[in-house]
Amino acid sequence: MAREEPTPQRSAIMRAVRSRNTTPEMKVRALLRPIAPGYRLHRKDVPGSPDVAYVGARRAVFVHGCFWHGHDCARGARTPKTNADYWLAKIARNRARDQRNLEELKRRGWRALVVWECELSDEPALAGRLRAFVCE
C-alpha cells in the first residue's frame, strides 16, 4: 500500500506532538522530585537519551507513550485508521530502537526503568515503583 499524503489537519496535529517535556514526563518528574532530586534530563551522552538520568547512580528512566512505543495496553494496541502500514512500521522501529538502547545501557552497567503512560493513572503505585528503582 502506498504511503498517503497527510492532510493539513493531520500535519498540524503531528507537529504539535512533543518529544520532550510531555505531560507524562512532567508527572514522572514531579513524582521523582521529593524521592530523589538531582536528576538530569535528556542526557545525549547516555544511550537512548533517557528522559531522566541519575548519572552517578547509573539509573535511567524512560517515559514512553503507549501508542508511540507499542505498549500492550488498550491505548497502545490501537491500530491507526489512516496510513496504518506506515504507523505500524514506525512503531515497530521505535520498539526495536528502545530494545537496542536498553541492551546498550545494560552493557554499560546502567539500570533502566520504563514508565508507560498508562501507569500514570495509579500515581501511588508508580511513586512506589520509582522509589524502589532509584533508592535501591
What is the reported pLDDT for 107? 98
Return the CA Rg of the chain: 16
pTM: 0.86
8-state DSSP, 79: P
Phi (first) and psi of residue 66, to 5 degrees: -60, -40
Each of the 136 residues of the chain gets a pLDDT tens digit; together they read 455 666 777 666 666 666 678 999 999 999 999 999 999 999 999 999 999 999 999 999 999 999 989 999 988 888 888 888 888 999 999 999 999 999 999 999 999 999 999 999 999 999 999 999 999 8
Record the cell numbers describing residue 74, joined without a space: 488498550
Residue ranges covered by each domain of the chain: 16-135
Q: Quickly name the fold that domain 16-135 has.
A: Endonuclease; Chain A (3.40.960)
Interstrand relation of 59-64 and 111-116 (parallel, antiparallel or unpaired): parallel
125 CB contacts (<8 Å, ≥6 apart)? 119
What is the reported pLDDT for 39? 96
What is the reported pLDDT for 75? 83
What is the reported pLDDT for 13? 64
What is the reported pLDDT for 123? 96
What is the reported pLDDT for 109? 98
What is the reported pLDDT for 9? 74
Collapse the DSSP code of 112 into the 3-class scheme (helix H, G, I; strand E, B; otherwise coil) and give the result.
Answer: strand
